[in-house]
Structures are given as structure tokens and as C-alpha cells.
Amino acid sequence: MPDGQAISAPILSADGISKSFGSVPVLFSVSMNIRAGEVHALIGENGAGKSTLMKILSGFLQPTSGHIRVDGTTKELPGNGQSEGLGIVLIHQELNLAEQMTVEENVFLGRELLSRGILDRTTMRAMVKGYLNDIGLDISPEDRISDLSIAQKQMVEIVKAMSRNARVLIMDEPTAVLTEAETELFFAQVRRLKARGTAIVFVSHKLAEVSAISDQVTILRDGQWIGTHAAKDVTPDTMAQMMVGRELSDFYPPMNEVDVDADHVLEVRDLVAPGVHNVSFDLRRGEILGFSGLIGAGRTAVFEAICGLTPRAHGLINFDGAPAQFGSVAEARDAGVVYLTKDRKEKGLLLGQKMRPNLSLFALPKFVKGLSVDHRAEDAALTRAIRRFDIRARDPSVKVGDLSGGNQQKLLLAKVMECDPRVLIIDEPTRGIDVGTKQQIYHFIAAIAAEGVSVIVVSSEMPEIIGLCHRVVVMREGEITGVVTGDHINETEIVRYAAGLKRERQQ
Amino acid sequence: MTETTMSSAKPSILRGFDLKTAGPAIALLILCVIGFLLNPAFLSEGNITNLLTRSAFIGIIAVGATFVITAGGIDLSVGSMAAVIAGVMIIVMNSAVDTFGTGVTTVLIGCGCSIILGLGAGLVNGLLTTKGKIEAFIVTLGTMGIYRSLVTYFADGGTLSLNYDIRGVYRPVYYDSFFGLPIPVWVFIIVSIAGWFLMNRTAFGRYCTAIGSNESVAKYSAIKVDRVKTLTYVIQGVCVSLATIIYVPRLGSASSTTGVLWELEAIAAVIIGGTVLKGGYGRIGGTILGALILTTIGNILNFTDMISNYLNGTMQGLIIIVAVWLQRGDWGRSKSAD
């Protein structure tokens, strides 16, 4: 099906693959050809069926109908990672390494080399050393996994795949957790693998990266195959359009001007807390205030301190003109100041539970009638939230951990909105979610602000800060280095403050 | 195609689910049938009341333990706590005889003392775990040793006996019946209903589950984690004091062997009942069944000569392991997946 430039026969191909879970179809007759020495990107919104397709390609799931062909012959791939024997390796997003073991032990885990019944550590170490040199990774085979950075761990996964003579390497969002520099390094490895003739399939939400690294792009939408194109023929914009199936011209909602005279809902003066030095800022009613800066600039720390999650050493907080010192999250919530964490899996949602208890958890006192929790009110709230935030779940009894990232994020937003906040602080509102859901979230935020709620958006994604915020506060090393407003909000200006090239004196 | 996959997938999920929740009830039913087959006297009214009364102690303590475990904690000190509370109760009542005589007042003073001690001991466990940031296992292992040695010390290595006259006044609390059921069984029923309501219907129960599932999420969801966790230990303490109040009139004495291994029986009852040991999911109903199962095993062994009564622990141990194995829930699936 892919057009043009068939250099070689595909090593691995999917032929009219369909898959249903129970009564819910998630893939409809999808085809894909993977060739040696080619980087093939798989893109689509959350829930488009990318993960399912990858699992089918690597044998972790069996298709409901359709065939998988390896080297042109139809094969039923063995499950549970046994396909590695055929040279097909899937690298999960949650890396699969034993944290307390060394690089060498991990690479040879399960197929250790033996010499007279005893581990042959010398040979194994030498082999791992060779792989690490090949890939240009500057770590020792004896390093413990827990001491490595995420990017390095990812490389170790790749080394592990290489040591198994992987011909097809399938990676689920490998760059999601990498910084830009790490991504560059990672791409260098990918090019090297490609030169060796390895076929690479990867999923990414970062379309600029897809353009930069891949040869072929396959787009899925709602389980349908939308198209496969040579990467050089499509721009990130067209990719986004094909993923979403509509024009993205209104990607960011129109900005309502904030009344300059609107009263200050929140005033922070000389806040000092762990990782925060003398931070002062104001927030007006109905304003969307951005907090930009590099990772580790202390943005999260500011708001955790304000909301009583971490202790404050010093500083004044005025809420609605009156001094407020929130000693706990509950106090902040009762006053109407809520903080939505960036870490939705570890700090935001109870993944093992259903949507209902998750939704009502934050505002639970509101749902208590007499002594007991009013289940009917909870159900009504869930119905409302599903409608208002367009949360798509197979059915309401599904565990939250089984929802897609975008739907989890919507649920998290619904959860904090349950207590009708006056100040909503959202940390990384769109981390790891697809373009279409991102756009929805931006519109939700704008609508919330239009209702008179003041919103603070903490984000590392420059475009969303620029597209969404009325005013942007830039932080560096725990301090505010500048505030940009209106027409001055642009990438260069923000970066100069964030990098410490420019700084403005605060009042 | 879709319909066939659905019809084959749905029932297996349902079966696994049913087994998980109904498992303890089925197990208890099977035990009762076995008991009846071995000796029809097993189902006599006298034996059933005896069985229920015996279950009351462990059952009441286990209801408290369900809260602690659901919120991700553990309390190993309950057996020793019961012993030391019993000991102090007896000492207090004996010395109150001089001032208040051998009437109901003295017994009430003893009971009040028990509740206060239970509250206090639970609070100590709770605060050491939350404010002291010491692991619950270590804290309660420590207090377990402390309480155990205290009761030995109070009894001077021997036995503390309740004044004979008070014993006469207090006796009915264990031996008398009310509407056909012994009073300990009533207490068990009331504690169970209160526990079930607290766990399943109130915000507090929801908070326990949330904390046990993921403490960070709970913290970021405006839950006062330390307070809720401390409260679970306080509830545990009160349950222990209630159990002690109905236990003391049974023998009218306390010694260093009082309440030995109760903590393990309570934890076993909780786990057999389907509560997850690492927290996040608690079932009061299951806990009650778990307590009944444990007592029933001992009772059946009393009724038969086939297995020595000394093997009671073996049978309980086997039941615990089998129960948890069944609850894992994927034992059927892992076979079909191959």
C-alpha cells in the first residue's frame, strides 16, 4: 500500500489487521510494511490504535483477523516476547530493566553465557563493552541501571535489542521523556542502527521529530489506516491534519482580553520555599498566566508551596485581598485554589480504581450527605464531567489506568474542577497527550478562564504558553527573571529570560 | 467475529470476579458442609453460638485491622495490646473494689479504662508511623514487644486474676444471651455493621482506600494523609479494647500468654476475606467471613478424631495460602493463555 520507493521487500508486514477487545473494535484492516534500514513512524491521536498495532506486530497480541508476514511468509507470531527469536523486539514505554542490576546483567538477563556452569562474566562484559562502543554510549557495563539517566536507560534497552540481533525494533514513544539534547543523541543511535540495516518503527507525538528522523510515516485515526507517506512529502502540519481529520487552524482558542482593572485574586510576595527564592507575582481575575522556564527552574515548587504541599520558609500570600496561609491542600481547596499535578500517574489519579472514585476524591466533602458519600450525586457528577470534558471510556466501570493518557488528563482536570475553584493551577496541562486532545484541553482552559476563574499554566512547551497565556512569568533557578505581556510574548524573549541572558528587576 | 470474542471474554471476567468476592463465603459454606458430614452435631444450635462467640474476639480485632491494612499499614501489636489492656483492666478493677465496691460501677470503670488504653495505644502506633515516619511494621513490632513484656511485668510472671465478686457481676457480658445470641456476638455484629458503613459509605473509608492505593495521589487530592492513617490505628486500638472487654469475663484473668498470636489470626482473617495486604482495597464483609473461617477450622477439628487438634495451625495455614492463591484471580487465565 505505501506509495513509491520500494527499495527492498518488507521484513515485517501487517496485512489487513483488525482487532477487537470484547465487542469494541480498535483496529480496522490496517496494513503496514516495514523494510530493512528504514525508520517508520507511526502517528495518531491517543486511542487511535498505535499501541495495539505495535503489540500485534511484536506478537504480544494476536489480531482478530488479518495476517502478519515475516520475510513474505505468513506467520503467527509467538506471544510474550518470544518474537525476539525472530528478531522482532518491542521496547515498551515503561522500560523493562531490572533497576538494581548492572548494564551487563540486564543485557544478558535470561540468556546468560555460561562457562562450565558458571557465569562467564569476562566474555559478557567484553561483548556489552563492544555494543556500547558501537552505539557510542559512554557508560560502563558495570554501572547500575538505577544510576543511569532515562536516556541512558533507553540506550541500554537498545543495546539489549542489538545483542539479540534485532532486525525490527519497535519503540513506543521513545522520546517522550527525553530532553532535546538527549533526543539528538538518541537519533544519532537510530541513524547508526538504520545504517546497519535494522528496521525501526516508532511512535511519537512530536511531529517535528517525526519529520526529522523517519523515512516513512503511517497515520492512524480511530483505528483506521489513513495513509502511509514518505516523510519528506509531508509537513508536520499535514500530518497533524491527517491525524485529527480536520483543520487545526483554531488550534489555540481566541484570547479574551483581561480587564486591566480586574482585581488581583492572588498576590504572592517574597515567597521563599525549598527551591524557590523571593518569588512575587500577581494574578488577575479571569487571567491565564503562564509560567515558563527550563526544567528545574522551580516553577512546580512555587505552586506546591502556595498550596500547602511543601512548607514555606517565608513570604506573604494574599487571596482576594486578605492574607492567606494555606497549611494543607484541603485549606487551599476550601478557599478555591487548586493545583493539578504534572505527574498524573503517580500523583494525580488512582490508576487501579474506576473513574467515579477518582473524580470525586478531591472534592469528596462536597459529596457527603449526612454521614455517607452520596453515590447518586457522584454518578451525576461523572455523567456531567464525561460530557463537559469529552472523556472517552469504553464504559464508566473501566479502570482509570486503562484509559488513554489524554482521557486521564481530562479526568484529572474534571477532578479538580469538581470543587469549583477560583484559581486553577495546571502543571504541564498536555504532557504526553496527542494533538487533538491538546487542542481540546486548550479550549477547556480558555472556557474556564472566560467564566472568571484565574488560571495559571505551568508548561515547558513554548507554543502552548505563547498560544494560551495573557501574561508569562519566566523563572530561572528558583527566581523570577522576567514577565512578558501581550505582543512581547514570543519564543526569543522567553528563552532569553529562561536562559538568564536577560533579567528584569522586580518591583 | 466481534460477538464471538465478546461472548467468550465476558463470562471469564465474570467468573474471576465472582470467585474473588464470593470466595470466602463459598469456603465457609464448604467448611460447614464438611463439619456437618463429619459430625451432625456441628450444626447444633449450641455449637453454632459457641462458634460465633469464639469468632467475636478475632473478628472485632480484624475489623479494625481491615482499616489499617486498607490504608497501607499493618499492626502487629494487637495481641500484646489486648493482653496489656486486659491486665491493666483487672488491676484497675481490683483496686477500685475498695472505693466503689463490687458493683456495676467498678466494671464500668474497667471498661472505660480499656477504651482509653485502646485509644491511647492506637494513637501511639499511629503517630509513630505518621509523624515519626517509621515504618508501621517496625513501630508495631516494637510496641508488640513492649506491651507483651509489660503484661508479664504487671503479672510478675504469673497470672492476674479478677476479684471473685466482680467476676460474678461481669460474667454475664461473656456468658449471657440477648434475643438468643450471646452478648459478644452482638458486639461483633455491631462493630461489623459500623465498620462496613465506615469503610463503604463514608468519606473516611474512601480516603483509606485512596491512601492505600497511592499515598501521593491522596496527598495531592487534599486528603490529610497523616490524620487518616493515624485514625486507622486508633480504630484498631478501640476494636482491641472492645474485644478485651468481652474477653476478660470469659476467664477473669490475664497473663503473658493472653492474646498470643492474635495479631496473626486477625491479619489472616483480613487477608482471607479478600483485602489486599499492600493496601488500596478493603472488604469488611470478607474480614468477618475470614474470622468465621478460622474459628470454624478449629471447631471442626474438635469434632473429629481424624486430624489431631494439634494440627489446627497447619489447617489454618493451608487455608490462608489457598485463599490467597484463589484470590490472585489470574490462575485460570494464565492457564488458558498458554
| Model pLDDT for residues B218-249, shown as the tens digit of each residue | 999 999 999 999 999 999 999 999 999 999 99
Residue B2: the pLDDT is 37
**Mean pLDDT score of chain A, rounded to an integer?**
86
Residue B299 pLDDT level (bands cut at 50, 70, 90): confident
Q: Which residues of A, range 61-100, sit inside 8 Å of B by Cβ?
A: 64-65, 79
- Please report, for residues A448, B167, B298, the alpha-carbon distance to residue B323 in angstroms, rounded to integers and kept in the order given: 50, 40, 17
Give tens-digit pLDDT for A297-316.
889 999 999 999 999 888 89
Q: Establish if A458 belongs to a structural domain.
A: yes
Separation CA B148–CA B255 (nearest Å): 9
Please answer yes or no on whether A23 and B3 come within 8 Å at the CB atom: yes
Which residue spans within A176-286 are E strands per DSSP?
A: 199-203, 216-221, 224-230, 264-273, 276-284
The larger pLDDT score, comparing residue A22 to residue A385, is at A385
Residues A173, A227 within the same domain: yes
Residues A16, A60 within the same domain: yes
Phi, psi of A77 (to 5 degrees): -70, 135
Residues A28, A93 within the same domain: yes
Average pLDDT on A372-389 reads 93
Helices B136-154, B104-130: axis angle to 10 degrees equals 150
Q: Establish if A343 belongs to a structural domain.
A: no
Residue B200 pLDDT level (bands cut at 50, 70, 90): very high
Q: Establish if A35 belongs to a structural domain.
A: yes
The separation between CA A77 and the C-alpha centre of its own chain, rounded to angstroms, equals 30
Interface residue A408 vs chain B (CB under 8 A): no
Residues A122, A150 within the same domain: yes
Give tens-digit pLDDT for B246-281.
999 998 999 999 999 899 999 999 999 988 888 889
Count of CB atoms situated within 10 Å of the CB of B262? 22
Separation CA A130–CA A132 (nearest Å): 5
To the question of pTM greater than 0.80 for the whole model, the response is: no
**Mean pLDDT score of chain B, rounded to an integer?**
87
**Contacts A341 to B, Cβ<8 Å:** 220
Domain boundaries, position A322 = 263-336+422-491+498-507
Residues A327, A239 within the same domain: no
Residues A123, A233 within the same domain: yes
Burial A164-174 (b: 16+ CB within 10 A, else e): eebbbbbbbbb
State the Cα angle at A394 between A388 and A398, rounded to 5°.
95
- Please report, for residues A170, A344, A475, B53, the alpha-carbon distance to residue A295 in angstroms, rounded to integers and kept in the order given: 29, 17, 10, 62
Q: Establish if A155 belongs to a structural domain.
A: yes
Least CB-CB distance to B217: which of A25, A350, A372? A350
Select from A244, A275, A297 the last residue of a domain.
A244
Residue A288: the pLDDT is 93
Q: Establish if A438 belongs to a structural domain.
A: yes
Please answer yes or no on whether A65 and B209 come within 8 Å at the CB atom: no
Pairing mode, if any, of strands A454-458 and B253-255? unpaired
Give tens-digit pLDDT for B176-195.
888 888 999 999 999 999 99
Does the pLDDT value for residue A337 go beyond 80? yes
Give tens-digit pLDDT for A147-185.
888 778 888 888 888 888 889 999 988 887 777 777 888
Residues A267, A237 within the same domain: no
**Nearest C-alpha in A relative to B8:** A22
Of A10, A373, A377, the closest CA to residue A216 belongs to A10
Which CATH number belongs to the domain containing residue A293 in this structure? Answer: 3.40.50.300
Query: Under 8 Å CB-to-CB from A40, ≥6 apart: which residues?
Result: A32, A34, A199, A200, A201, A202, A214, A215, A216, A217, A218
Does the pLDDT value for residue A120 go beyond 60? yes
Q: Which residues of A, range 167-206, sit inside 8 Å of B by Cβ?
A: none
Of B184, B279, B289, B287, the closest CA to residue B232 belongs to B279
Give tens-digit pLDDT for B63-96.
999 999 999 999 999 999 999 999 999 999 999 9
Compute the nearest-CA separation of B36 from chain A (Å): 40
Residue A246 pLDDT level (bands cut at 50, 70, 90): low
Q: Establish if A412 belongs to a structural domain.
A: no
- What is this model's ipTM? 0.80
**8 Å CB contact between B262 and B60:** no
Please answer yes or no on whether B206 and A373 come within 8 Å at the CB atom: yes
Of all residues in chain A, what percent carry a pLDDT higher than 90?
A: 35
Residues A155, A270 within the same domain: no
**Nearest C-alpha in A relative to B338:** A79
**8 Å CB contact between B233 and B68:** yes
Interface residue A335 vs chain B (CB under 8 A): no
Residue A241 pLDDT level (bands cut at 50, 70, 90): confident
Q: Where are the domains of chain B?
A: 57-293
* Beta-bridge mates of residue A294: none
In one letter, which amino acid is A302?
V
A83-92, A281-290, A329-338, B326-335, range with the lowest pLDDT: B326-335
The separation between CA A436 and the C-alpha centre of its own chain, rounded to angstroms, equals 14
Q: Give the residue numbers in B contacting A (CB under 8 Å), as ranges.
A: 1-3, 5-6, 9-10, 197, 201-203, 206-207, 209-210, 213-214, 216-224, 280-281, 337
Q: Establish if A195 belongs to a structural domain.
A: yes
Joined grid coordinates for residue A214: 523517519
Residues A310, A178 within the same domain: no
A101, B215, B286, B177 alpha-carbon torsion, rounded to 10°: 130
Q: Establish if A46 belongs to a structural domain.
A: yes
Query: Under 8 Å CB-to-CB from A322, ≥6 apart: which residues?
Result: none
Average pLDDT on A353-380 reads 92
Residues A505, A428 within the same domain: yes
Report how many domains make up chain A: 2
